[in-house]
């Protein structure tokens, strides 16, 4: 065997060994001096909105969002994300060998901005079933009839920031309190979120939600049939949601619970016998989570957070019940909270003890 052949073989073996080591290192493997062997590591990919937040791992400042943290020994890590002016976020994150763990965080302002959205008074606010429209009544003024009194609808355009859509930026009137006095009407949405039923003084007016109704149509003779059709439609939609749940246990929970609220993307739902016993069921990962106590729980449209409504405070928490953050502390009416479809802000009904702001109106609370 020639010397040149031996050198060639040795060189090829060395190259193979070095290449193998490089591949192992690229895949996150490293040599453990403790275990005297090559062990796998994991990666955390962390992003935040807003970005450029500080990332602490087990109490040590490690990096800033948005980035990846590689060569982490598989175990649980205490991850904390901090940005000046925002409420800190922290959670135990499990890192597994050879896997990338994604951490997507929304940071909420430590001091949110609160501002008025209406100025003529608001009563009987009612959110549509699809969460995209808000119906409410502008009451009669002290001087009597006025053109603005009546029923109004605020429509949000899906997948677009509300500030860029004219139809979303301003509410529109669908009925006036001139021929009919709607100031004391009760409002109910149709199951498809396209019509509003206004009931007042024994009459039942069906109003189209996207236009001004010059001559409101009284459907009292067919009221029960109309309501039944809406109920049947809502039940059919709910049954369709339940039918596609593959986890048999989760499907049973969704079909038998007294309270069921689906996330907007329908990858999760909260359910329980009452508001005190609600849990979140994650269809994608087959996990369930307890929620903090609140008078009312509802989804933020991003499907990653839950709004917790209490007597004099509004909080937002991750869908697994962690990172509860108080967004607003103060008075607001009727447990009413209306989130924008882009999850950028909340709307409440409130009033202030001053001569010019004593009437209940809609107020916005920025989340970004």
Parts of the chain with a pLDDT under 70: 1-7, 9-10, 19-39, 142-145, 157-169
Does residue 186 belong to any structural domain of this protein?
no
322: nearest Cα among 113, 100, 87, 114: 87
Domains in the chain, number: 1
Measure the CA–CA gap between 138 and 36, rounded to whole angstroms: 75
Does residue 81 belong to any structural domain of this protein?
yes
Which are the contacts of 324, defined by CB distance < 8 A and separation ≥ 6?
292, 308, 315, 316, 317
Helix (H, G, I), strand (E, B) or coil at 251: helix
Q: What is the CATH number of the domain that holds 14?
A: 2.60.40
Measure the CA–CA gap between 283 and 280, rounded to whole angstroms: 10
Report the b/e string of 346-362 with b at 16+ CB within 10 A: bbbbbbeeeeeeeebbb
Measure the CA–CA gap between 283 and 271, rounded to whole angstroms: 13
Q: What is the DSSP string of 30-57?
A: EEETTTTEEE--EEEEEEEESS--EEEE
Q: Report pLDDT for 167.
A: 40
Kindly list the distances between the CA atom of residue 261 and the CA atoms of 118, 177, 220, 278, 284, in Å, as whole numbers in the listed order.
29, 35, 31, 10, 16
- H or E stretch at 296: strand 296-299
Look at the block and give the residue holding tokens 């193998």.
Answer: 20
Q: Are 132 and 317 in contact (CB under 8 A)?
A: no
Q: Report pLDDT for 106.
A: 94
Does residue 21 belong to any structural domain of this protein?
yes
Does residue 318 belong to any structural domain of this protein?
no
Helix (H, G, I), strand (E, B) or coil at 104: strand
Q: Report pLDDT for 164.
A: 38
Which residues form the domain of 54? 3-106
Does residue 150 belong to any structural domain of this protein?
no
Does residue 92 belong to any structural domain of this protein?
yes
Residue 276: DSSP 8-state: G
Q: Are 264 and 131 in contact (CB under 8 A)?
A: yes
Enter the tokens of residue 308. Answer: 């917790």
Q: Report pLDDT for 26.
A: 57
Does residue 135 belong to any structural domain of this protein?
no
Does residue 7 belong to any structural domain of this protein?
yes
Neighbouring C-beta atoms of residue 26, cutoff 10 Å: 9
């Amino acid at each position: 065997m020639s010397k040149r052949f031996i050198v060639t073989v040795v060189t090829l073996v060395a190259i193979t060994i070095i290449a193998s080591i490089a591949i192992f290192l690229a895949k996150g493997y490293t040599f453990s001096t403790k275990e005297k062997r090559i062990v796998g590591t994991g990666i955390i990919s962390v992003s935040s909105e807003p970005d450029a937040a500080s990332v602490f791992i087990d109490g040590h400042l490690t990096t800033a969002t948005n980035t990846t943290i590689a060569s982490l020994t598989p175990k649980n890590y205490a991850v904390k994300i901090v940005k000046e002016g925002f409420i800190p976020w922290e959670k135990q994150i499990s890192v597994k060998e050879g896997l990338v763990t994604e951490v997507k965080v929304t940071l909420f302002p430590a001091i949110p901005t609160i501002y008025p959205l209406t100025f003529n008074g608001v009563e009987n606010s009612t959110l549509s079933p699809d969460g995209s429209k808000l119906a409410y009544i502008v009451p009669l003024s002290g001087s009597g009839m006025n053109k603005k009194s009546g029923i109004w609808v605020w429509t949000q355009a899906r997948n677009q920031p509300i500030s860029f859509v004219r139809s979303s930026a301003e509410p529109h009137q669908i009925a006036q309190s001139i021929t009919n006095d709607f100031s004391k009407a009760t409002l109910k949405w149709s199951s498809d979120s396209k019509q509003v039923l206004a009931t007042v003084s024994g009459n039942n007016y069906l109003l189209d939600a996207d236009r001004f109704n010059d001559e409101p149509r009284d459907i009292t003779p067919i009221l029960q049939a109309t309501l039944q059709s809406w109920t049947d439609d809502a039940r059919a939609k709910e049954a369709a949601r339940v039918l596609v749940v593959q986890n048999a246990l989760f499907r049973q929970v969704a079909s038998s619970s007294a309270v069921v609220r689906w996330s907007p993307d329908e990858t999760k739902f909260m359910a329980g016998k009452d508001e005190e016993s609600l849990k979140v069921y994650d269809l994608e990962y087959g996990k369930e989570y307890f929620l903090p106590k609140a008078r009312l729980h509802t989804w933020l449209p991003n499907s990653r957070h839950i709004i917790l409504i209490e007597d004099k405070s509004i909080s937002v928490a991750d869908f697994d019940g962690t990172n509860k953050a108080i967004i607003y502390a103060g008075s607001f009416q009727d447990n009413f909270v209306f989130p924008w479809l882009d999850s950028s802000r909340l709307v409440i009904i409130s009033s202030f003890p001053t001569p010019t702001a004593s009437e209940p109106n809609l107020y916005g609370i920025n989340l970004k």
